[in-house]
Structure 1
Amino acid sequence: MSRTIANSHQAELQVFERYGTKARYAIGYSDWPEMAAGLDPFIMMNEFEITKPGVTDHPHRGYDHATYMLSGADSNEDSKGYKNRVESGGLQWLTAGKGVVHCEVPGSDDDTKDHGLQLWINLKRADKMVEPAYQELLSKDIPKPSKDGVTVAVLAGESLGEKSQVYTRTPTMFLDFTLEPGAKYTQAVPKGWNGFVYVMSGNVHLGPEDKQTVGKPHDSLIMSDGDGLALENKGPEKVQFVLVAGEPINEPVCRGGPAGHFVMNTEEEVRAALEDWKSGKNGFENAPTWKSSVVAELQK
C-alpha cells in the first residue's frame, strides 16, 4: 500500500539572537509534543543558519543528534575531548548516550553561509546510558546514487541500491533527494515506520497519482503508513527535499533540562540528568569545570 501525506505544516523562520542562529523547525520545538506525537522515534528536526557566537556549551543526554551541512561548516567540541569540523556535504552523527557537554559554532572563516539540517532521534531506554560516540562522514564518503533524474545522498539507511555506513541504534533512514524536472521514484519505507518529508527547494508531488500532495519550500509533510512513498517532480525546476523515517520505540518520552536537551522516559530521569550535570557524575564527570575554547575566549 502506497503512503500518502496525512498532515503538514509550514516551518516558519525563527531567530535566536542570543546564539546567532536562525532555524525552521520541521518538527519539534514550539509545537512539541503535538507535531512529534505521531513521529516516534523523532524528537526534532530543523533547518538552520548559524553565525557567531553559535550554540555554546550545553549538555545532551538520551538521544542521537545528527548534523548534516548543506553549505559552509560547523565546528564542534565537547567535554570528552572531541573536536571536529563538519564540512559542506558532511554528516556528524552523535550518540549522546549518558551525557556530553557540547559546543557547536560557525566553522567557516569567511562569509560563507553555515547552513544545514539537524535531526534528533530518540534512543530506547536500554540505550540511553551508553557511552557517547561520534560517527563522521565526509561528503565523499556518503553514497550519492543517481538514476533517471533522481539523485539521493544516503545519509542513513538505503536508497537506489546504496547503503549508508552510519550505524543507527534506532533504525532510521535519512535521505537527501534531488529530482530533475519530470523525474519520479518510489522510496521503499518499512511498513510501521513513522516518517516525514521536509522540502528545501522547488515543489514535489508526494503520494499516488490519485492522492498526491504538493510539498513546497519549507513544508514539513507527515506520511501515513504503507510500504513506500511515491516522489515526483512535475515542475520546471529541480526539487530538493529530505525523507526521514524510523522504527517507533513505543516508550514514554519526557524531555527537559536546558533547551530540552535531556530526552528520557520519566520526569524523575530528567531530574537525575540535571543533578548529574550539575554535580559532575554519571557521564558528566568534568562538566562543572569544563569550558569550550569558544567560551574561554569569550570570557577573556
Structure 2
Amino acid sequence: MKVLRIQKAQATRDGAGVNISRIAGFDGKSLDPYLMIDELKSDDSQDFMAGFPAHPHRGIETFTYIRKGGFEHRDQMGNVKAIRSGDVQWMSTGRGVIHSEMPLADAVDGMHGFQIWLNMPAKDKMRPPRYQDSSQTGVATITTDAQVTLRALAGDWLIDGHSVSSALQGLAGNGAIADVILPANSSATLDVSQHQKVLVYIHTGKLSEPEYGELYLLDVEPKAPLSLIAGSQGAGVLVLAGQPIGEKIAHMGPFVMNTQEELQQAVRDYHAGRFGDIV
C-alpha cells in the first residue's frame, strides 16, 4: 500500500465525560466524505459510564460499531435499541435528530467501539432522518484461507478474490466500512479501486509494512490494491472508503452544514423544539 498521509488519534473527552481517542477532519478535505473517527477503548468503567446524554445532530450521518460492551440508543423517532458487541448502527440525521447513547449494565467489563461521522451532501442535509442497525440482519463476515476475517460493516468488499456485502448500504459519499482482523504475520489484499478515498485505522496490534500500530490512521492510495500485512502480534484495522463530497463545510458542535447561516438556523430550530423529543 502507498501511504499518502499519516495521522494519530488524540485523547479527548465528549458526552458527559467519556474518554475517547479522536481523529477529526472538519476541514472537509482530509477525511472527506468522513468527518471524524472516535474510538472508545477502555476496561475502566469510569472512562465511559457517564455516556452520551440526549443531544442533537443535523447534516451528518453517524455510524456506530461496537466490538466490546454496548450502548442503549434512544431517539426522537421512537427507536430504543441495545447496540452490543458485533453490532453496527447508522443514522442519517438529515434535518434533525435528538438521541442518547448510554452504556449497558454489562459494559462494566470494558468497552471498545467507534463512532464515525460522515458528511452529507447539501442536497440531502434537510431530508427526513433515517435509522438502521444490524440487530436483525447481523453483520456479514468472510474468512480467507489465511484466516483473515473481514466484517462488512457497510458497503461492498472484495478480499483475496472473495466478495462480501453488508446489509447496510447507501451511506453518504458511497461510504463503505470494514473491520479486518489479521492473525500474526498474516496478510490480505483488498480491491478498493472503486473508491476515491481509502483510510486505514489501526485499532489493535500492528501492521508490519508499513510499520504502524494502534491509534494511527493511514490515508492510502486507492488506485492500488490495499495490501495489509500483520506484525507478530497480529492486527485489527478499520478500513473506511468512499467518494469525497467536495463541498464547503460549516461546523459547530453537533451540526455540520454548508454555511454559517445554516448553522445559526440549526441552533434556532433546536432551541425552538423543532427537533422533537426522545420518547
Give TM-score, length-normalised by structure 2.
Answer: 0.89
Structure 2: state its 5+ residue gaps.
42-46
Task: For 2:112 and 2:130, locate their aligned partners in 1 and report how far apart those are by CA, in whole Å.
Answer: 24
Task: For 2:99 and 2:278, locate their aligned partners in 1 and report how far apart those are by CA, in whole Å.
Answer: 10
1:208-223 equivalences under 5 Å are 212-223=209-220
Matched, 1:165 2:157: no
Show the counterpart of 2:207: 204
Is the Cα contact below 8 Å between 1:89 and 1:138 reproduced in 2? no
- Paired AA for residue 239 in structure 1: A
Is the Cα contact below 8 Å between 2:12 and 2:21 reproduced in 1? yes
Matched, 1:84 2:81: yes
Is the Cα contact below 8 Å between 1:5 and 1:223 reproduced in 2? yes
Task: For 2:83 and 2:32, locate their aligned partners in 1 and report how far apart those are by CA, in whole Å.
Answer: 27
- Paired AA for residue 236 in structure 2: Q
1:267 is matched with which residue: 238, 255, 260? 260
Show the counterpart of 1:239: 235
1:244-255 equivalences under 5 Å are 244-255=240-251
Matched, 1:42 2:34: yes
The C-alpha deviation readout for 1:50-92, integer Å capped at 9, x for no partner, is 6232111110011110000010111111122221110111001
Is the Cα contact below 8 Å between 2:181 and 2:235 reproduced in 1? yes
Is the Cα contact below 8 Å between 1:74 and 1:114 reproduced in 2? no
Show the counterpart of 1:14: 12
1:11-160 equivalences under 5 Å are 11-16=9-14, 19-25=16-22, 27-28=23-24, 32-33=26-27, 37-49=29-41, 51-109=48-106, 111-138=108-135, 141-147=138-144, 148-159=146-157, 160=159
Identity of matched residues, %: 28
The C-alpha deviation readout for 1:124-158, integer Å capped at 9, x for no partner, is 11111121111111397111100122111110122
Show the counterpart of 2:44: none
When residues 201 and 251 of structure 1 are mapped into structure 2, their CA distance, relative to the original with a 3 A threshold, is same
Show the counterpart of 2:3: 5
Structure whose CA Rg is larger:
1
Shift of 1:116: 0.4
Show the counterpart of 1:184: 187
Task: For 2:64 and 2:195, locate their aligned partners in 1 and report how far apart those are by CA, in whole Å.
Answer: 25
Task: For 1:60 and 1:254, locate their aligned partners in 2 and report how far apart those are by CA, in whole Å.
Answer: 14
- Paired AA for residue 259 in structure 2: T
Task: For 1:192 and 1:144, locate their aligned partners in 2 and report how far apart those are by CA, in whole Å.
Answer: 21
- Paired AA for residue 147 in structure 2: G
Is the Cα contact below 8 Å between 1:107 and 1:114 reproduced in 2? no
Show the counterpart of 1:298: none
- Paired AA for residue 10 in structure 1: K
Give me the CA root mean square deviation. Answer: 2.1
The C-alpha deviation readout for 1:237-268, integer Å capped at 9, x for no partner, is 22111111111111111111xxx211111111
Task: For 1:134 and 1:112, locate their aligned partners in 2 and report how far apart those are by CA, in whole Å.
Answer: 28
Task: For 2:232 and 2:137, locate their aligned partners in 1 and report how far apart those are by CA, in whole Å.
Answer: 29
Task: For 1:118 and 1:56, locate their aligned partners in 2 and report how far apart those are by CA, in whole Å.
Answer: 15
- Paired AA for residue 266 in structure 1: T
Is the Cα contact below 8 Å between 2:53 and 2:100 reproduced in 1? yes
Task: For 2:164 and 2:195, locate their aligned partners in 1 and report how far apart those are by CA, in whole Å.
Answer: 22
The C-alpha deviation readout for 1:78-110, integer Å capped at 9, x for no partner, is 122221110111001111111011111111346
Q: Which moved more, 1:76-85 or 1:39-48?
A: 76-85
Show the counterpart of 1:295: none
Task: For 1:166 and 1:291, locate their aligned partners in 2 and report how far apart those are by CA, in whole Å.
Answer: 24
Structure 1: state its 5+ residue gaps.
206-211, 293-300
Task: For 2:89 and 2:224, locate their aligned partners in 1 and report how far apart those are by CA, in whole Å.
Answer: 29
- Paired AA for residue 162 in structure 1: V
Is the Cα contact below 8 Å between 2:69 and 2:107 reproduced in 1? no
Is the Cα contact below 8 Å between 1:91 and 1:139 reproduced in 2? no
When residues 272 and 113 of structure 1 are mapped into structure 2, their CA distance, relative to the original with a 3 A threshold, is same
Task: For 1:54 and 1:219, locate their aligned partners in 2 and report how far apart those are by CA, in whole Å.
Answer: 25
Give TM-score, length-normalised by structure 1.
Answer: 0.83
Task: For 1:81 and 1:140, locate their aligned partners in 2 and report how far apart those are by CA, in whole Å.
Answer: 20
